[in-house]
Amino acid sequence: MTTGYYLRHWGHYERDRDTLNPHERVSAAAFFLGLQALTQADIMLLAYKYHTGNSSNPSTTTGEPQTDIPLTDAVCAEHYNLIPAEYGKQRRIIEARLGQQITKAQQQYEDYQRHKLDEYALTVGGGWYIRSVSSGAWAEIILTCNPQQAKIYHGSTTLAQLPGFTVVKPPNKA
C-alpha cells in the first residue's frame, strides 16, 4: 500500500477504531507509529490535506466511509501562503519520510509475528496463500485461495520480508 492510501484512511482509522478488522488494525498501528516519527508541523501539514472529514462513498461491507477526500495541493498551498509547487515538494518529502517509517513498523510487526510462530503461512493480496515457490532463473510463486493447500514455513524465509506478504498462522490441516 502506498503512503497516500494510509493518509486517505486516516480519518477511518480514528472514526471507526472500534470496528476495524484485523488487517485494518495492523495498518492503522503501522500508520500511527509512522506519524510518531514526524514533527508536529509535518503532521499538521498532512492532516490539513488528508484528514478533511469530507468522506468518500460508504463501504459496501460496513456502510461507513473508509476514506477522506483530500484537498488539492493548490488549496493547501494557499492556506500555507506557498506556491503549489513548493507546497507539493514539502508534502512529498514528508510523505516519503512517513512511508519509510510505516514500512519500518510493518517489518517490525512481521518479524514479531514470524518469531512468535513456530510455523506460519504467507498470504498476499488478502486471501491468497503461497502454495509453492520454484527456484531457478525463472522462479515462480504459485498461489491458492484454498488455505488447506498453503505452504507451511518453519523458521525464516526471505519471502516474508518482501512488501505485500503477510505472515499468518497456518491453517488447520484436516
| Residues 126 and 143 sit within 8 Å (Cβ to Cβ) | no
pTM attached to this predicted model: 0.65
Taken in order 123, 136, 104, 52, the sign of the CA dihedral is negative
For residue 91, give the nearest of 75, 103, 73 by alpha carbon.
73
Top-confidence residue, 15 or 172 = 15
pLDDT > 90? residue 156:
no
- Mean pLDDT score across all residues of the chain: 83
Please name the helix (run of DSSP H) or strand (run of DSSP E) that holds residue 123, with its range, or none: strand 119-124
Instruction: Confirm if 93 and 38 have CB atoms less than 8 A apart.
Output: no
Domain ranges across the chain: 3-114, 117-168
Q: What is the pLDDT of residue 77?
A: 96
22-58 exposure pattern, b = at least 16 Cβ within 10 A, e = fewer: eebebbbbbbebbbeebeeebeebbebbbbbeeeeee
